[in-house]
Amino acid sequence: MDNLNALFAEIRNEFPALTQKVHGKKLVYLDSAATTLKPKVVVERVSNFYLYESSNVHRGAHFLSDAATAQFEGARHSIARFIGAEHFEEIIFVRGTTEGVNLVANSWGLSNLKAGDEILITEMEHHGNIVPWQMVAEKVGAKVVAAGILDNGELDVEDFKKKLSSKTKMVAFTACSNVLGTNNDVPLLTKLAHQVGAKVLVDGAQIVSQSKVDVKAWDVDFFVFSSHKLFGPFGFGVVYGKKAILETMPPYQGGGSMISKVSLEGTTYNDVPFRFEAGTPHVEGAVGTHAAINFIEKIGFDKVHAYEMDLLQYATEKLSAIPDVKIYGTAANKGPILSFNLKGAHHSDVGQILDQEGVAVRAGHHCTQPLMARLGVPGTVRASFSVYNSREDVDSLVKAVVKARELLL
Ligand code: PMP
């Protein structure tokens, strides 16, 4: 552990954001589940792209455009390898997880779902993996059904099995809950879904920065994630889809780049993945994501996992020892996310006191209102940990929660 602590203390220096003070206190950033801070290597890569390489892609005809296209498509290959995809054509660039789910729900959903069909989700989904399905279900007369959770925050797999049937055409669930931290058993749930002939979409927003993703071994049909939660730029994300399925899907948006031939009488569409990428893309998003992948792979997911689990365990022990603290989500297999409330205090008031102490957490419903209804609370306080945090950060959190308790209870 000493070696790991030394390594991650070095890594912390990659994040200049952490050298600043807020409200006169040292910034303790515990909101990585909302977005990770960006390391210097990523920011410098994006900055260099803008300063020296900025040019539109796929337009050919000059040196800079060819170089930008090579960087852009190089990122696609790197991302494919990073998540274990077999073909680079299986990687579609979008704005983020939310747009990714919308793309699949509209393109695959509208052409495959019909009245009476069911879409199975879970009670722990983010709104980004609920609302797009509800919108499509309403259009075609299908139904969204949700599998419940157990009191410890794990998915109720028996309920999930019960709700799977020949009516189920899509199963959409998160690999990791952004509130409870629960890591779902992706291969198991995927196998169960495939047994009834359903397709599977996995929301990878929280898993990509924590552990190795392997879409091929998991056998998922779709996988979506956002770069900003993986040390990369805002406004950029990825849809992975099995090539054979993508090839059957109609375009999501129309415009330049997604076409093969346009006449005033009609249009034929480009091959996948370009069919799904209308207009000038987020080139520096792709380039920055490539740098972010290099950053995390250089550390190695085995070390990231060991370090983050140590922080989670330490924080869980310390917070549990404070009277009146209730923790939500104690699954055996968890990501580095810790949700809690102070009994008798409002989550926003706790969040505000923590902020005054320099401790940045998220307080609210975390875009998971159905989960809040299941937990019977309007919101929680959420601390989430990443590679730049330390045990001292956890100590600052604990000290601030003790102070909030003194002030509020
Ligand atoms: N799903 C999960 C599990 C998330 O944590 C988030 C972000 N909080 C999203 C989806 C939506 O991601 P984005 O806002 O980047 O589209």
Alpha-carbon gap, residue 291 to 287, rounded angstroms: 7
Residue given tokens 């028996």 in the structure block: 158
Q: What would the two tokens of residue 26 be?
A: 């040292």
CA distances from 357 to 18, 176, 330, 398 (A): 15, 29, 27, 11
| pLDDT tens profile 274-317 | 999 999 999 999 999 999 999 999 999 999 999 999 999 999 99
Confidence of residue 59 (pLDDT cuts 50, 70, 90): confident
The phi, psi pair for 97, rounded to 5°, reads -55, -45
pTM equals: 0.98
> In the structure encoding, which two tokens stand for residue 114, read together?
């019909």
| 352-370: b (≥16 Cβ within 10 Å) or e | ebbbbbbbbbbbebbbbeb
Q: Where are the beta strands (DSSP E) in 157-309?
A: 168-174, 199-203, 222-226, 237-241, 259-263, 266-269
Q: What is the pLDDT of residue 61?
A: 83
According to the model, what pLDDT value does residue 199 have? 99
* C-alpha separations of 383 from 277, 278, 316, 321, 394 in Å: 35, 37, 10, 16, 9
Predicted confidence at residue 1, as pLDDT, reads 80
128 CA from centroid of ligand 1 (Å)? 6
CA–CA separation, 281 and 292 (whole Å): 18
- The Å distance, Cα 221 to ligand 1 centre, comes to 19
Q: What residues flank ligand 1, with Cβ below 6 Å? A: 96-98, 126, 128-129, 174, 178, 203, 205-206, 226, 367
In the annotation, is 176 catalytic? no
Select from 223, 220, 214, 228 the least CA-distant residue to 96: 228
